Amino acid sequence: MKKKIVLFIFIIIFVYAIGGIVYILMNKEKNPEPIKVSNLDTIKGYDYALRSNDTSLYKEIFNHLKDNLEGESINDEEYAKDIAKLFIIDLYTLNNKINKYDVGGSAFVHPDYVANYKLNVQNTLYKYMEDNSYDNRNQELPEVSSVEVITSEKTNYKIDNNSLNGYKVTLEWSYTKDLGYDSKGVVTLVNVDNVYYVVQKD
C-alpha cells in the first residue's frame, strides 16, 4: 500500500515537472530576458564609456574622441566638438533607450545640472516613450544617422560667479527617418579641470 502511495506521489511530481517545463518553453517569448546593457570600451582617465546599445555613429565619434584623449597631445577644440556630437547623438537617438529614465547625453552634462537636465528631458522629449525593458516596443523612435559641426567658437560661461572657458558649438544632424524631431542646435560646453561638460543646449 505504501509503495502504491509513493509511486502515485512520484507520478504526480513527474507530471507537474513535465508540465512546468512545457509551460516555460511555450511562454518563453511572452517572458523574454530583460535587456542588459554593458560597457564595451572606456577612455583612460575619463568617465566616458561606449555601451553595447550605442549606434555605429556614436561608436565612430567615440573612437575619434578616444584617439584624441589618449594621444600624446589633446586637441582642445576637437575634444569639445566630439563631446557636443556625442551629446546630440545620445540625446536624440531614442530607439536604443530602455525607457524614458534612460536619458541620453547625461554622461556629458555638468554635474550641477544633471538632475534638472534628466527631469526636463523625461518630461518633454522622452515623455511618451514606451518601456522597452524586454525588447517588446512597437513604437517608432528616432535614430541620429549623421551629425555635423557648422561652427565652433570660444566662449565664457558663468557658474556660481566663476567665469569658465569653453566652446559654443553649432550643429546640424539628420535621422534614419525624419519623425519631426529637432535637427539643429547650439551646445555650450565649459572646461572644468580639463574635462568638457555640456552646460546649455539651445
Give residue for cell 574635462.
195
Q: What is the pLDDT of residues 20-41, one digit of tens each?
A: 565 555 554 555 566 676 768 9
pLDDT of residue 118: 97
Say which residue, 9 or 152, is predicted with more confidence.
152
For 81, residues 6+ apart whose C-beta sits below 8 A from its C-beta are 149, 152, 167, 169
pLDDT of residue 19: 57
pLDDT of residue 31: 55
* CA–CA distance, 100 with 130 (Å, rounded to integer): 7
* CA–CA distance, 184 with 171 (Å, rounded to integer): 6
DSSP letter at 191 equals E
Count the neighbouring beta carbons within 10 Å of the beta carbon of residue 187: 26
Cα angle, residue 187 at apex, residues 119 and 143 outer, rounded to 5°: 70
* CA–CA distance, 35 with 133 (Å, rounded to integer): 6
DSSP letter at 199 equals E
Cell of 72: 600624446
Q: What is the pLDDT of residues 68-82, one digit of tens each?
A: 999 989 999 999 999
DSSP letter at 157 equals E
* CA–CA distance, 143 with 94 (Å, rounded to integer): 6
* CA–CA distance, 90 with 108 (Å, rounded to integer): 10
Asked whether 64 and 52 are in contact (CB, 8 A), the reply is no
* CA 95 remoteness from chain centre: 10
Q: What is the pLDDT of residues 80-108, one digit of tens each?
A: 999 999 999 999 999 999 999 999 999 99
Give residue for cell 549606434.
55
* CA–CA distance, 24 with 185 (Å, rounded to integer): 49
Q: pTM of the predicted model, to two decimals?
A: 0.81
Burial 157-175 (b: 16+ CB within 10 A, else e): beeeeeebebbbbbbebeb
